[in-house]
Amino acid sequence: MDGKRNDKGLPIGTFERLKVAQNSFCEELIIAGFGGQGIILAGRLLAQTAMNAGKEVTFMPSYGAEVRGGTANSMIVISDEPIASPLVSRPDSLIAMNKASLNKFAPCIKTGGLLIMNSSLIDSKPNVDQSIDILAVPADDIAVELGSQKSANMVVLGAYLQRRGLFRADDAAKSLPDILAKRYHKTLNINAEALQHGAEFAKRSV
Amino acid sequence: MNERILMCGNEALAEAAIIAGLDAYFGYPITPQNEVPEYMSKRMPEEGRVFLQSESELASINMVFGAAATGKRVMTSSSSPGISLMQEGISYLAGAELPAVIVNVMRGGPGLGNIAPSQGDYFQATRGGGHGDYRTIVLAPSSVQELVDCMPLAFDLADQYRTPVLVLADGILGQMMEPVVFNKKPRRKLPPKDWALTGADNRKQNIVRSLWLKEGVVEQHNYDLQAVYKEIEKNEILCEQYEVDDAEIVVVAYGIAARIVRGAVNKARQEGIKVGWIRPITLWPFPTEQINKAADNFKIFLTVELSCGQMVEDVKLAVAGKAPVVFYGRAGGGVPTVEQVLEKIRQLTLRPENII
């Protein structure tokens, strides 16, 4: 936000700059899965990474009754311009961590969009149109190999970052300490490694 | 302090209140504003100030009353059902002319409703809410940064006019994260709190109350309050406009609905539709004049809310019959999408006579 304020002290014209430049960069993303898969954490990490890179960003987590096994999703908008709606109904990209969220959100992906799906838990072929770039990542399997199944969220995020090319997996790894509580800092390395492995998987899958 | 920090609305407003000089917070948990008391419970003791989790919302608001009477900066926060419970206390605050800030992170109703975002408490917020002939200033931010910016303003307005001030947010604003900057802003020049209960050493006794039984006293008190409300209406209206001048359609929305409208209007402009928006930032006092002026050249007004239509009544009063006013909204936790609002705008360009 710039410093322009009206005489009442509130910011004005924040969105006057929002003359939509057609070419200005904007990415709308949904990460979805079940509670306990680290959906919210992955979303927060991406948002933090985007902010650290100087971008405008909004992060909207589903909230409230989510518990392990329930549904969870993160909506993230990243842009060079101030962001209008933080809610994503037609994502450029979808990261689907389980079948239910694939079924729910895949039909909404924009033409020419990107779908990252966790093939460890999704055995079916997604019913999406030809234009969509699909990357199947066996995220849980890769995470188990690394010794921490809980890092499957980082694996898919790493794959997404590599495929989309907005930020590097390394940028996300550097942002980890900003979002993880101190008591979880012992997991920094394993999470960074998972990000890296996800990125490498995506690189190999070109 | 110019660093950008990624924060959710609830935590950001709490930190902004602390920076604004909050002395005491009283509250009771309720989704979707739980991060406020959680944050306060950690930060207020760190600052050597008061955090108290009360046994109920009724207790919270009456603790606010007591602490406000001592001249301290005080606040509470809750979500819709909790705010309903506080209405008696808010009426007492208004009657006793006590400054306080009350944050309502609205959720779906009526009743316990659900925990999804809503704007169903507009009537309650802008019409006083409790019993008696009073108003409260209502600020309706639409981003996490604006939540941060409106907290010091809310405290200043409360102190300046000796009135409770409501900050009206919703589940999305409370939960969503955006980068924010905490700039310490200069405070307004505020009148001394010579009415506060600070111990009547070497001065006349102060009395804070909302009960006067002598004939005619409450009547006069009402006229005095109304004079203050007139001042507020004269000085404190805030609203933002975007491309209204050449617009054939003007969308009016506040809070999170205004963000969705922005997205829809941007897309509509790309399609060549002449559409702009007006966003009231203060819901009371309402930007009646600004909207009335926009209605001078015939335009169609579309009001978008997360309700079945509440602010639309104020928009109609402001437009005063000069132009048609149409409503689109979703209620009870339903949130309109950018595409739905865009579709509504498109319809208005096609066959307005059939829709209005």
> Looking at this predicted complex, what is its ipTM?
0.92
Give the domain ranges of chain B.
Answer: 5-235, 240-355
Q: CATH top-level class for A26-204?
A: alpha beta
Mutation target among A6, A15, A44, A178 for the B interface, most CBs of B within 10 A: A15
The pLDDT of residue B298: 78
Residue B245's Cβ-side half-sphere holds a number of Cα atoms within 13 Å equal to 0
Strand order in the sheet with A114-118: A133-137, A114-118, A93-96, A26-34, A71-79, A56-61, B177-180, B5-8
**What's the pLDDT band for A56 if we cut at 50, 70, 90?**
very high
Measured CA to CA, the distance from residue B57 to residue A135 in angstroms comes to 50
**How many angstroms away from the CA of B281 is the closest CA of chain A?**
9
Q: For residue B324, what are the CA distances in angstroms to A127, B287, B302?
A: 44, 18, 9
The pLDDT of residue A113: 95
> Is residue A67 within 8 angstroms of chain B, CB to CB?
no
Mean pLDDT value of segment A10-28: 49
Helix (H) / strand (E) element for A58: namely strand A56-61
- Look over chain A and give the mean of its residue pLDDT values, rounded to a whole number: 87
Instruction: Encode pLDDT of A138-157 as tens digits.
Output: 999 999 999 999 999 999 99
The pLDDT of residue A66: 54
Please report residues of B whose CB lies closer than 8 A to that of A90.
339
Q: What chain B residue is nearest to A44 in terms of C-alpha separation?
A: B177
A14 pLDDT more than 80: no
> Is residue B4 within 8 angstroms of chain A, CB to CB?
yes
Please report residues of B whose CB lies closer than 8 A to that of A77.
none
CB contact under 8 A, B6 and A48: yes
CB contact under 8 A, A59 and B266: no
Q: What chain A residue is nearest to B183 in terms of C-alpha separation?
A: A3
The answer to whether domain B5-235 and domain B240-355 are alike in fold is: yes
CB contact under 8 A, B176 and A86: yes
Helix (H) / strand (E) element for A79: namely strand A71-79
Determine contact, residues B280/B305, Cβ cutoff 8 Å.
no
Measured CA to CA, the distance from residue B356 to residue B344 in angstroms comes to 12
Pick the CATH number of B240-355 from 3.30.420.40, 3.40.50.920, 3.40.50.410, 3.30.1300.10: 3.40.50.920
- In sequence order, which residues have a C-beta less than 8 Å from that of residue B178 and are 6 or more positions away? A57, A58, A59, A83, A86, B6, B7, B9, B143, B144, B145
A68 pLDDT more than 70: no
Please report residues of A whose CB lies closer than 8 A to that of B236.
8
Of B301, B311, B249, B306, the closest CA to residue B280 belongs to: B311
Of A206, A75, A76, the closest CA to residue A135 belongs to: A206
Beta-ladder partners of A59: A76, B177
Instruction: Encode pLDDT of B221-250 as tens digits.
Output: 999 999 999 999 999 999 999 999 999 999
Measured CA to CA, the distance from residue B160 to residue A167 in angstroms comes to 48
Beta-ladder partners of B339: none
Q: What chain B residue is nearest to A57 in terms of C-alpha separation?
A: B178
Q: What chain B residue is nearest to A77 in terms of C-alpha separation?
A: B178
The pLDDT of residue A67: 59
Pick the CATH number of B5-235 from 3.40.50.620, 1.10.10.10, 3.40.50.300, 3.40.50.970: 3.40.50.970
Measured CA to CA, the distance from residue B37 to residue B30 in angstroms comes to 9
**What's the pLDDT band for A11 if we cut at 50, 70, 90?**
very low
Measured CA to CA, the distance from residue A110 to residue A100 in angstroms comes to 19
Phi/psi class of residue A140: alpha, beta or left (left: φ > 0; alpha: ψ in -120 to 50)? alpha
Q: Which parts of chain B have pLDDT scores under 50?
A: none
The pLDDT of residue A10: 43
The pLDDT of residue B185: 79
> Is residue B91 within 8 angstroms of chain A, CB to CB?
no
Give the domain ranges of chain A.
Answer: 26-204
Instruction: Encode pLDDT of A23-43 as tens digits.
Output: 467 999 999 999 889 999 999
**How many angstroms away from the CA of A85 is the closest CA of chain B?**
5
* pLDDT, greater one: A11 or A102: A102
A64 pLDDT more than 80: no
Of B287, B196, B299, the closest CA to residue B245 belongs to: B299
CB contact under 8 A, B240 and A15: yes
Measured CA to CA, the distance from residue B356 to residue B348 in angstroms comes to 8
The pLDDT of residue A125: 86
CB contact under 8 A, B260 and A87: yes
Number of inter-chain CB pairs under 8 A, A vs B: 103
- In sequence order, which residues have a C-beta less than 8 Å from that of residue B120 and are 6 or more positions away? B80, B106, B108, B109, B110, B113, B306, B307, B308, B310, B331, B332
Amino acid (1-letter code) at residue B354: N
**How many angstroms away from the CA of B114 is the closest CA of chain A?**
10
Give me the residue from B181, B238, B267 closest to A10, CB to CB. Answer: B238
A71 pLDDT more than 90: no
